[in-house]
Amino acid sequence: MNNNTGLVLDNRYFNHVIERQSLENPERLRNLYQILESPKYKGRFTKIDPREIHISDVHTVHSSFYIDQLRNHSINKDPYSYDKDTYLMDQSLHTAQLAAGGCFQLVDKIMSQELSQGFALIRPPGHHAEMGRGMGFCILNNVALAARYLMKNYGLNRIMIIDFDVHHGNGTQDVFYEDNEVLFLSIHQKGIFPFSGDPHEIGKGKGEGYSVNIPVFSQFGDTEYTFLLGRLLQSLVEQYLPQFILVSAGYDAHVDDSISGTTLSTDWYRTATLMLRQYAEEACDGRLLFILEGGYNPVSLESSVLATIDGLLQPMNGRVGVLHSNRAEKVLHNHPARSFWTI
C-alpha cells in the first residue's frame, strides 16, 4: 500500500458546465472518478478534499481588472461572452477557486510531509490563463497559483514547473517571465494554439534563461519525448536544484486525442511519471505535484491519467532507460537555453 500519494477529486468540479457541446466538460473526469473510488484503488492513495481559495490568493497571480471581468461575465446570459473558447457560468469562478484550492491542499500536505506526492484531478484547467485574461478553457492559472503559494507561505525560491501538455503553457510563462524563482519548462507541439512557446522566448530581466521552450514536430512520440524529458530533467534539475516540482499534466499529446498531431502512447505517461519521481527524489525529497490540464478524448485521458497514478503508486526500481533519438537531438541543437544551462 502507498498512502504517501494524495489525490484531489471532488464532484463540485462538475458544476462548471454548459448545455452546449464543449471539449472541456465534466465527462472528462466522471468515469475516472468512479474508477478511482472502486475497490481496485481502495487504500492505495489518500483522498484530499479541496478548499476554495480566497480572492486575495487569486490576486497573487491575476489582476484586479481580470477578476472583476470574471465576476461580471459569470452572470452574463451568454456563457461565451468573455472568450469563444472559455465559457463562464455563475458557478465558474467558484469552481475555479476550488480547483486552485485542491492544489493548495496538496501543497500543504506535501510540505508538512503527510504526503510525498500528489495529483490534483481538477477542472477547469489553468495553464493558458495569463495574469490579465483567461483563454483556452482556462480561468485561473492553477499551477502558477500553487507556485506563488509555495513562495508566500513556505518561502521557497527555486520552484520548477514542467508542462507536457501538447499546447504551450503561455499563461504560466506570462506570470513568471521576469522571475528567477520559477524555472518553467514546456514541451509542446509547434505551430498550434496558443501559437507561442518559441525557443527564443527565454524570459526577461532577472527571469532571462528561466523559460525553456521545446516546441516539437507533429508525429513525435514516445521515443522522442522520453529522450527530451530525460535529457532536460537530468540537466536542469541537477543545475537548478528545485525545492519543489510542479507538473502541468496535459494528456492531449496522446495518439488518440484528435486535438493534436503527436503520437504518445498511454504507457508514456507512466514512464514520464517514474522519471519525474526519480528526479524529485534526488533534488527535493520527492516533493512532486501533478495538476491536470488538457486531454479531450475521455477514453485516452482516463487511461493516461490512470497510467500516471500507477506510476506514482508503484515502487521505484532505478532509473528509466532512455534511448537516443536523432530527431529529438536536432530540436536541442543550438537551442537558446544553452546560453544559460548545459543541456
The owner of cell 503520437 is 263
CA-to-CA distance for 123 and 28, rounded, in angstroms?
Answer: 9
Residues 6+ apart with CB under 8 A from 271: 222, 226, 311, 320
Q: Is 335 a catalytic residue?
A: no
Residue 310 near residue 202, CB atoms below 8 Å: no
Active-site pick, 62, 128, 167, 254: 128
Q: How far apart are CA 288 and CA 308, in angstroms?
A: 13
User: Whose CA is closest to 186, among 125, 101, 246, 116?
Assistant: 246
Do 171 and 144 touch, CB atoms closer than 8 A? yes
The DSSP secondary-structure symbol of 206 reads: G
- Name the strand (E) or helix (H) holding 266: helix 266-284
Whether 275 contacts 229, CB under 8 Å: yes
Cell 464543449 belongs to which residue? 22
Residues 120, 149: contact at Cβ < 8 Å? no
User: Sign of the C-alpha dihedral, residues 39, 42, 44, 48?
Assistant: positive
Report whether 328 contacts 220 (CB < 8 A): yes
Kindly list the catalytic residues.
128
